[in-house]
Structure formats: C-alpha cells, structure tokens
Amino acid sequence: MPNKPTIWTIGAWVFGILVILIGVLNLFLVHPVPGVAYLLISLVFLPPSNAWFRRKFGFSFPLLVKIVLGVVLIMFTLGVSDLGDMIDKL
C-alpha cells in the first residue's frame, strides 16, 4: 500500500516548486547567480531530495530549519531582490 500524502509533504512539494519558480525567474530576468542559488536551495524542500540527503549523508533538514529558510527566502525575494522590484512595478 503506498504512503498517503500528508499536509507536510504536500506543503513541501508546493513550497519547493515555488522556490524553483522563483529560481527560474531570477535565472532569466535578473541574473544567473541568484537563480542557480534558488534552484539549489529548492532541493532542501523537495521530499525526494530530502530522502536522498537522509540516505546518502545520514541526516535531513529539520522542519524548523525549513520554515525559517522559507520565510527568509520569501522576505528576500519580495523585499530586497531585483525580482521583487519587478513585481512591484507591475
């Protein structure tokens, strides 16, 4: 019987895809460096990469670290980055 999705895994997928989208937008609209950084950071949130970290290195990122990192990423994207300025001009 396959595992049933929980609210945490659904939230992890949604937020991981959101960070990937922000990374792609930064990659094409702003500069490649923050875009690649966002794409790499999105691996922290996606459940398959989290399982890979646990299997390969013996640890996974705790939920509190993911929440703090997510809040910092959203604040940085909307407040400080050039992408946030582009969104404000629309």
Is residue 23 domain-resident? yes
Which two structure tokens, joined as six digits, stand for 18? Answer: 């959101």
Is pLDDT of 9 > 90? no
Question: What is the distance in angstroms between the CA of the first residue and the CA of the last residue of the chain?
Answer: 47
- Please tell me whether residue 21 adopts helix, strand or coil conformation: helix
Q: How many domains does the chain have?
A: 1
pTM, 2 dp? 0.80
Structural domain span for residue 73: 8-89
Over the chain, what is the mean pLDDT? 83
Is residue 1 domain-resident? no
Is pLDDT of 88 > 70? no
**Per-residue confidence (pLDDT) for residue 3, from 0 to 100:** 73
Is pLDDT of 36 > 70? yes
